Structure 1
Amino acid sequence: MMKRLAGRSGMFLLLLILEITLLFTAPVIVTAENAAEDTSDSEMRPSELYARYAVLMDAETGRILFSKSGDTEAPMASTTKIMTCILALENGTLTDKVSVSSEAASQPEVSLGMKEGQSFYLKDLLYSLMLESHNDTAVAIAEHIGGSVSEFANMMNTKAEELGCMSTYFITPNGLDAEDENGIHHTTAQDLARMMKYCITESPAKEQFLEITRTGSYTFSDCDGNGSYACTNHNAFLKMMDGALTGKTGFTADAGYCYVGALQNDDRTFIVALLACGWPNNKGYKWSDTRKLMTYGLENYFYRDIGSSYDPYNAELTVDVENGYTGSFPDSKNADINVSAQGSPVRVLLKQNEEIESEVQLIENISAPIKAGAQIGEITYSVNGNRIAVYPLCAEETALERTFKICLDYVVSLVLL
């Protein structure tokens, strides 16, 4: 009886070994499918705005939510001063004494009325710069921080390039219309919004920037205690909408009325940038456009999470591991293992009917052995072609190499059982 069983077991063992030697593999990639709830929402049309160039930006990610020729270059007038202010805050000290040169004192209106030879504390001049938009103040600050207006302009252009504002060119620190051998003083609505994003969310001086630009009124004297200078904030948007955070106006003959501002509602922060938004007597156009764009953002964009802890498509990502073995019967099929994205979720402002696209890229020729936790690819999430987040894809389990010994051991274990 024992011999008969042994003979049958031997035959069974030989057949299994023969089948195992003929196994082959074919890698398969499975990616998440895109799906989104189709819900109607109001659309903003460019024709509804007075501004020739405008954008609405999500301040957290920098994604442009709406654009009207937002990448077109145009003069930006005194919205320039947000860059002047942030560079002064980052490179100067509020207690610095700023001397007034003849060039600074000779700047046209709007001006503080400073005289050559006077000195002011940098802190006081920053309120003059941002609340009243004084042109002489901007030059005095530029000369103090950069050594000269031209050197400060170089600092401005360098910072713009660092921020990815590749369609911006600064000549003056105050935004007065200017032109040199490289072109005119200009930016785009998109670049202007990006600069504001930096000022309020990224700069080490962001809290000081917000404190200055949100102040309603401010008075000061020069360093010797002479004179009394009063500044009133001309950013009407601060009292126009709940959550208004900051902003800067501007106007020149070439630029027209310009504005850049930010609003915070709950955990959402929006930035609006407007260029060429009317000329006299249309001073109120910029406020109308700002309200319209901010309202559009508030009514239509809400946060959704993207990342390893949230799968918007309820899809599983699996891969076949060539010649892999995970503990089950080592037959002709490859080993299937689950993979998952690793990293913290990213919040994205989206419309309800807006799709999140995902693209999975795996390394070529995924073959055993694969250890749990090993990165075998990445998943990229994007919206309307704009990349939002990239996560590494890692194996959730180990796949050993399916060797002859593993197959033999598996068969022997069956026989012994």
Structure 2
Amino acid sequence: MNIKVVIISFIILFFITSISYTDPVINAESSILIDVKSGRILYTLNPNKKMPMASTTKIMTALVALENGDLDDKIKVEKDFVGIEGSSIYIYEEEKISLRDLLYGLMLRSGNDAAMVIADHIGGDVENFVNLMNDKAKEIGALNTNFTNPHGLEDENHYTTAYDLGLISREALKHETFKEIVSSKSWTANRDKNNYFYNKNKTLWQYDGGDGVKTGYTKRAGRCLVSSATKNGMQLVSVVLNDRDWFNDCYKLLDYGFENYKPYFIYDKGQFIKNIEVENGNKEYLPIVTDSSCILPLKEEEKERIKVTINLPENIEAAVNKGDIIGKISVYLDGELIYTSNLIAKEEIKGIGFLKKLKKSL
């Protein structure tokens, strides 16, 4: 009897462990799971397939607005932006509304009218704002993305990939204001009507640690969702495009990430690496430090397969400013580069004049 119990327990344990390390089966046409801090990709399904993304477009709209606008700006609504089709916050002609309230309306209620007002205000006109969106996409490496509008309504030349949308979402989540907006379950805007915005993203209620990001749907794009959650010191983002079971599949991806990966400390920001010799400077040696921390999500068995390489010159010519980039530190897993950052000068070193150089050489 006891032997049977032991055998059954072992089988159950093995089965649970097997499930934990098996890639999730989902219904998306394209998908990705990415760690926000490091950018490490933990799961993919057709990640580079170009697809429409509906209102997940607005992640980029918000990002560009936050980088180029003032949240306290009061914007007067023009007639052209009233009654835009689809989701709306019901702006009205001559209304004066802050950029902050527009961004909450954009991300919580998916207001297409809010998107147009934001674009016109930030870009000077909508076309120029779309150019800013495309420039930002290229800047962060989302090279298979093209925007034709700020809201995501259907256009055959408006597309992204799950990989690119993961990059865009990761970049946006670096902004504290963006994080505050997308993690808000509701918002009361400073307007005389239609002022209560309730977040459409059920991730905030249904998933433990859920803190973003954006839903999207059109007939052509299908159901699209970017979900984020923070647990165990990690924030993960799951992206599904054209997925009939969008929320549950995002949750499956997040579960997979949190169950199989744990944050592993590689090096800290400002960590001393080495001293390098300085030529013609007021000091002989320059201390080199890291410009950022590296915390990677790793499976338990991956920890022993991490290799860190340092690329620095043997010496450097003065003058050197504090914070100057001197070299690179790279982290590899099984020979594949998974993270890199800069090595910088910890302090300023001034160059010496001709007479001091001559004296030193003599």
In the alignment, is residue 381 of structure 1 matched against residue 331 of structure 2?
A: yes
Cross-structure match for 1:45? 23
Cross-structure match for 1:215? 184
Cross-structure match for 1:266? 232
Cross-structure match for 2:265? 305
Per-residue Cα deviation, 1:123-172 (whole angstroms, up to 9, x for no partner): 11111111110111110110011011110000111111111111111111
Q: 1:54 aligns with which of 2, 9, 31?
A: 31
Cross-structure match for 1:193? 166
- The number of aligned residues is 294
Match of 1:350, as an amino acid?
L
Match of 1:277, as an amino acid?
D
Q: Distance in 2 between matches of 1:137 and 1:106?
A: 11
- Residues 42 and 118 (structure 1 numbering): CA distance in 2 closer, same or farther, change over 3 Å? same
Match of 2:331, as an amino acid?
Y
- Residues 135 and 383 (structure 1 numbering): CA distance in 2 closer, same or farther, change over 3 Å? same
In the alignment, is residue 249 of structure 1 matched against residue 215 of structure 2?
A: yes
Give TM-score scaled by structure 2 length: 0.73
Q: Distance in 2 between matches of 1:212 and 1:358?
A: 38
In the alignment, is residue 132 of structure 1 matched against residue 132 of structure 2?
A: no
Shift of 1:41: 7.4
Q: Is the 8 A contact 1:356 1:381 kept in 2?
A: no
Shift of 1:213: 1.7
Alignment of 1:103-252 (within 5 A): 103-179=80-156, 184-201=157-174, 206-222=175-191, 226-252=192-218
In the alignment, is residue 100 of structure 1 matched against residue 77 of structure 2?
A: yes
Per-residue Cα deviation, 1:78-130 (whole angstroms, up to 9, x for no partner): 11111111222222112212222233114102112223333212111111111
- Structure with more relative contact order (C-alpha pairs < 8 Å, separation 6 or more): 1
Structure with the greater alpha carbon radius of gyration = 1
- Residues 345 and 162 (structure 1 numbering): CA distance in 2 closer, same or farther, change over 3 Å? closer
Cross-structure match for 2:295? 347
Q: Distance in 2 between matches of 1:117 and 1:379?
A: 54
Cross-structure match for 1:73? 50
Q: Distance in 1 between matches of 2:189 and 2:202?
A: 22
Greater CA drift, 232-241 or 381-390: 381-390
Q: Is the 8 A contact 2:330 2:337 kept in 1?
A: no
Q: Distance in 2 between matches of 1:362 and 1:155?
A: 35
In the alignment, is residue 286 of structure 1 matched against residue 246 of structure 2?
A: yes
- Give SS of 2:301's match: coil
Per-residue Cα deviation, 1:165-218 (whole angstroms, up to 9, x for no partner): 111111110111114xxxx111111111111111112xxxx2211222222222
- Residues 111 and 382 (structure 1 numbering): CA distance in 2 closer, same or farther, change over 3 Å? same
Give TM-score scaled by structure 1 length: 0.64
- Residues 112 and 44 (structure 1 numbering): CA distance in 2 closer, same or farther, change over 3 Å? same
Greater CA drift, 247-256 or 108-117: 108-117
Q: Is the 8 A contact 1:99 1:144 kept in 2?
A: no
- Residues 73 and 128 (structure 1 numbering): CA distance in 2 closer, same or farther, change over 3 Å? same
- Residues 52 and 266 (structure 1 numbering): CA distance in 2 closer, same or farther, change over 3 Å? same
Q: Is the 8 A contact 2:40 2:338 kept in 1?
A: no
Q: Is the 8 A contact 1:301 1:350 kept in 2?
A: yes
Match of 1:91, as an amino acid?
N
Match of 1:155, as an amino acid?
L
- Residues 250 and 300 (structure 1 numbering): CA distance in 2 closer, same or farther, change over 3 Å? same
Q: Distance in 2 between matches of 1:41 and 1:378?
A: 38
Structure 2 gaps, min length 5: 1-16, 269-287, 315-326, 344-362
- Residues 144 and 379 (structure 1 numbering): CA distance in 2 closer, same or farther, change over 3 Å? closer
Shift of 1:389: 3.9
